Structure 1
Amino acid sequence: MSSFSRMSEAPAQQRWSDLHRSQTNRTEESPRPDVRRCQVEFTNSLNPNIISLNVMIYIFNISLIVSSVRAQKKDKKPDAEKEEKKKKEKRVIDDTNRHKPFGKTAWAPVDDVYVLRHYPRTILDAADAVDMLKNFQALDFTDREQPVYVDLKLDMKLEKKKKVDLFVSTVHLPHPFKTGLNKVLVFTEDADQVKVAQENGAFVVGGAELIQPILDDEISADFYVAVPEILPKLTALKNKLRKKFPKSKRGSVGVNLPKMLNLFRSGHEYLVEDERYVRTQFATLDMPKDQILSNLQTVLIDVCSHRPANMGPFIERAIVSSQTSEALWFRSEGVLPKPAEKKDEDE
């Protein structure tokens, strides 16, 4: 520190001490009432009992504030969750009494060529959709024997946050579109069952001796059927066959070999993929319209049988298309039999 700063600092400290001494002497000699009252309050505040009481009151007030804030946060949480759910849910607008749909140009286009996003999606009856597919084929001069596909979006929800298990099913179509029959391999070691399987058109029949040829890709089939007694010996084929491995849920394990062979030789297999979608062929475009609709109805009925009927509609969206056509949305409820018709059939 420089000599100049020390010289300027010393007189300042001296003046401050002299001023403080003069003020204290004056208050001791002739204290004013307001000054005396302040001194008393200050000395009383130094009492430890009073300090502890003040601290307790302060802590109590803080706890009340914290509890009230927590209660407000708890009240806000359900409201915030409800708001988030509302944001996630799609807003459904009732357009029944409007002259045009919300955000669209009109209910239906006037011209044959139009922008899709300006009009609501057209959902057809299944019969009209099949007629349009046949018309597309005639106008485009495409193959008449091209396959016809159905694309279904399923509602896999069940009660208590459960979901329908992904399934693989084989259905017997009333009008098969395949020219040849499927190859079915039967696992059994009973001589009588071997004879029955061969009489009903089994491709290969055998027991544990077929395991190694299957692992070596010397023998392969479209479907694999087994009797319950031989299942423990087939565990080595689980990784090889995977979804084709015989299971009772798929109807490929049982004692009634003629029934199983009849189903799998001429049956059509489909599965649920991507968690909730069924995409499969069910006909060819050269088939008559009635046969196409009959096959479509059979597939939809089999799909809906994998969820309880009291849970509501299983099919959320249904699309039909051919190999070269555009996708046409159709009403699946118009294809499925009504509940009254089902009761009559059961009776």
Structure 2
Amino acid sequence: MATCARTAWKVLAGCQRQLLRTSCPSHTGISHSAPRNIPVRTFAAVRAQKKDKKEESEKEVKKEKRVIDDKDRHKPFGKTAWVPVDDVYIMRYYPRTIYSAADATDMLKKFQALDFTPHNQPVYIDVKLDMKLEKKRKVDPFVSTVHLPHPFKTEMNKVLVFTEDSNQAKVAQENGAAFAGGVELIQPILDDEISADFYVAAPDMLPKLVPLKNKLRKKFPKSKRGSVGINIPKMLELFKTGHEYMVENECYVRTQIATLNMPSEHILANLKAVLADVCSHRPANTGPFIERAIIASHTSEALWFNSQDVLPEPAEDKKE
């Protein structure tokens, strides 16, 4: 009887130890000799559903190609089309828009109002000339002075008159010449004691003014520029309020013609005067002298305009 009780007690003690081992956390420093059977249950992964190709094709946005209607005429060489479809486009892919002179002037005024830029900013033109002649010859670059119908300068130009005639010197002073004299003015000019915007001279003074050629350079009096003559009052009237321009880089005329706060009629009148004077240097029996014309203000974009709108009609057309 005692043996059965001891055996039952040992069995209960072993079961208690086994229960404590399985329930308590394990430590790395203690080794467990008793095997553990932990139940493990495996689950099957959810299989991904295949997307139908038809649904994907329906969701894809079809890119429609832009259609440009150019059936009536050929596309310009190297360009996409004659006229862009959208109002935002890359300019190099389309031909430039050529405006009339009046429309271009009005657009410059609108740009100034929208950009809040100075209203009295200068207005410039950039004209490319056809200087080619027969047998690989070219028209020589020229310098000219034109009388603008509506001057934009507030101050008059300083004009110096070379003459040894006392009467002509007196007339020059009465007509607003800054300086008038003969050979005695050469040395003060070389020493930079006297300077002027324009220099005019009587014909008999030209041989005596040779020492001033390197000093004055383009301002040296020449008959081609109208700065050599007998009618001194007429020359003074031109150069006091005249506007000078020149041909740069062989065939370009870049000059100011007005300010943006002037009325559009005054800007067009000055533009017409400058272009008419430029075309007066065109050789006889040649084609159009102006290849392209651009007008722009100091802060605006350059606008191409049709120069034929402001140029006077040729004499041949008037006769017909």
TM-score (norm 1): 0.69
1:210 maps onto 2:185 in alignment: yes
Deviations 1:92-127 (A, max 9, x none): xxx994265454333222433211122221111111
Deviation at residue 325 of structure 1 after TM alignment:
0.6
Q: Name the counterpart of 2:172.
A: 197
C-alpha spacing 1:315/1:234, structure 2 compared with 1 (3 Å): same
Q: Name the counterpart of 1:232.
A: 207
Q: Name the counterpart of 1:46.
A: none
Deviation at residue 161 of structure 1 after TM alignment:
2.2
Q: Name the counterpart of 1:317.
A: 292
Deviations 1:151-196 (A, max 9, x none): 0111101223221111000000001010110000000110110111
Q: Distance in 2 between matches of 1:273 and 1:100?
A: 34
Q: Name the counterpart of 1:264.
A: 239
Deviation at residue 340 of structure 1 after TM alignment:
5.3
The one-letter amino acid of 2:247's match is V
Deviation at residue 308 of structure 1 after TM alignment:
2.4
SS at match of 1:224: strand
SS at match of 1:324: coil
Q: Distance in 2 between matches of 1:298 and 1:132?
A: 21
Deviation at residue 341 of structure 1 after TM alignment:
8.9
The one-letter amino acid of 2:225's match is R
Q: Distance in 1 between matches of 2:87 and 2:103?
A: 17
Equivalences for residues 95-110 of structure 1 within 5 A: 97-98=72-73, 100-110=75-85
The one-letter amino acid of 1:214's match is I
Q: Name the counterpart of 2:257.
A: 282
Q: Name the counterpart of 2:161.
A: 186
Say which is worse superposed, 196-205 or 331-340, in terms of deviation: 331-340
Deviation at residue 257 of structure 1 after TM alignment:
0.2
Q: Name the counterpart of 1:176.
A: 151
Deviation at residue 311 of structure 1 after TM alignment:
0.2
Q: Out of 106, 110, 114, which is 1:135 matched to? A: 110
Deviations 1:56-84 (A, max 9, x none): xxxxxxxxxxxxxxxxxxxxxxxxxxxxx
Q: Out of 122, 128, 131, which is 1:156 matched to? A: 131
Q: Distance in 1 between matches of 2:262 and 2:233?
A: 29
Q: If each structure's helix is expressed as a fraction of its own residues, which one has the higher value?
A: 1
Q: Name the counterpart of 1:223.
A: 198
Deviation at residue 232 of structure 1 after TM alignment:
1.1
Q: Distance in 2 between matches of 1:254 and 1:171?
A: 17
C-alpha spacing 1:96/1:225, structure 2 compared with 1 (3 Å): farther
C-alpha spacing 1:171/1:195, structure 2 compared with 1 (3 Å): same
SS at match of 1:282: strand
The one-letter amino acid of 1:247's match is K
Q: Distance in 2 between matches of 1:266 and 1:228?
A: 23
Q: Out of 296, 304, 309, which is 1:329 matched to? A: 304
Uncovered stretches (5+) of structure 1, i.e. residues with no partner: 1-94
Q: Name the counterpart of 1:303.
A: 278
The one-letter amino acid of 1:245's match is F
Deviation at residue 259 of structure 1 after TM alignment:
0.3
The one-letter amino acid of 1:107's match is W
Alignment length, in residue pairs? 250
Uncovered stretches (5+) of structure 2, i.e. residues with no partner: 1-69
Q: Quick one: percent identity of the two aligned structures?
A: 77
1:273 maps onto 2:248 in alignment: yes
C-alpha spacing 1:309/1:123, structure 2 compared with 1 (3 Å): farther
Largest Rg, 1 or 2: 2
